[in-house]
Amino acid sequence: MSLSTRTDQGQEFDDTVRQRSGWLIPIGVFSITALLSVMVLLFYLAPTPASLIEEHPAPTSRADPVALSINGIKMTIPANYILYKSARQGGGRNEIRLITTFPEFRGFSDWDSQSFSSNAADSPVVYLLIRVEPLNLSEAERLKRIYMNFVTKPAGTPGPYGLTEYAFRDDSGYHNEDLFVGGTIDAPIVLHCDRLSQQVRSPSCLREMPLKRGVVVDYRFKRARLADWREIADGVSTLVQSFRTHAHESR
């Protein structure tokens, strides 16, 4: 093979390399740009790990009895009171979230779904959380040992609906709430209620009611229903007790 032939072949090879290099570079730039764009979209739009595992409320109108237990307390609860689907599988739990309405204290139903989904200031919905509580404080102890440390006047002032009202200090973690106490000194009913504000348009009241040693029932209702605090307290107690009674009957 002559030198000119080898030179021509080398020239062709160089031309091929240059041609390929000419389209490889734009493809590489495009691929990197596309990859970066996908990463940015995933960062801003993809669900976070917490949202992937977080369970959302899923009430049902079915009333099948569900056998549950929490810290040794056995309960049989109709499925339409249970807020989360996973809890309707039954068994032992650290907490059980329930939903009902005042004044009937019925479970969820399709025909009344609008009432259950309402977050209006006067919504009839009452949320319950039965949970393990390691502190084991009675309401009287919780009032004395926790809340009284943060109020402006330990004696309180006469409040509405037969309640004693306490104002929390501005430097406390409860400064956006009001404290109301009813019942008796030995067996108080302690309610702390959100204040109406630009941030809280539909304020609620919360009570932490001991059920037995190591278990508490938290229930929450709208502050606009504060006049019904006695009836709500009695209704919640009766409802929870009915779940325990049904559990004994099913044995």
pLDDT, tens only, 109-148: 999 999 999 999 999 999 999 999 998 899 999 999 999 9
Q: Which residue has the higher pLDDT, 221 or 1?
A: 221
Higher pLDDT, 17 or 149: 149
Report pLDDT for 245.
84
Q: Report how far apart, in Å, the C-alpha atoms of 20 and of each of 13, 15, 29, 32 are.
A: 11, 9, 15, 18
Instruction: Please work out, in degrees rounded to the nearest 5, the angle formed at the alpha carbon of residue 159 by the alpha carbons of 215 and 197.
Output: 80
What pLDDT score does 249 carry? 72
Residue 198, pLDDT score: 87
Summarised one tens digit per residue, pLDDT across range 25-80 is 555 545 555 454 444 333 434 444 444 467 899 999 999 999 999 999 999 999 99
pLDDT of residue 97: 97
- Token pair, residue 115, equals 């009432």
Among all chains, which residue has been given the structure tokens 């049902």? 60
Tens-place pLDDT, residues 79-117: 999 999 999 999 999 999 999 999 999 999 999 999 999
Q: What pLDDT shows up at residue 33?
A: 52
SS3 86: helix
Report pTM: 0.78
**If you average pLDDT over every residue of the chain, what do you get?**
85
Each residue's pLDDT tens digit, 155-193 = 999 999 999 999 999 999 999 999 999 999 889 999 999
Question: Residue 39: what pLDDT?
Answer: 47
How many Cβ atoms from other residues are within 10 Å of residue 63's Cβ? 15
Question: What confidence score (pLDDT) does residue 242 get?
Answer: 97
Contacts of residue 54, defined as CB under 8 A and 6 or more positions apart, other chains included, come to: none
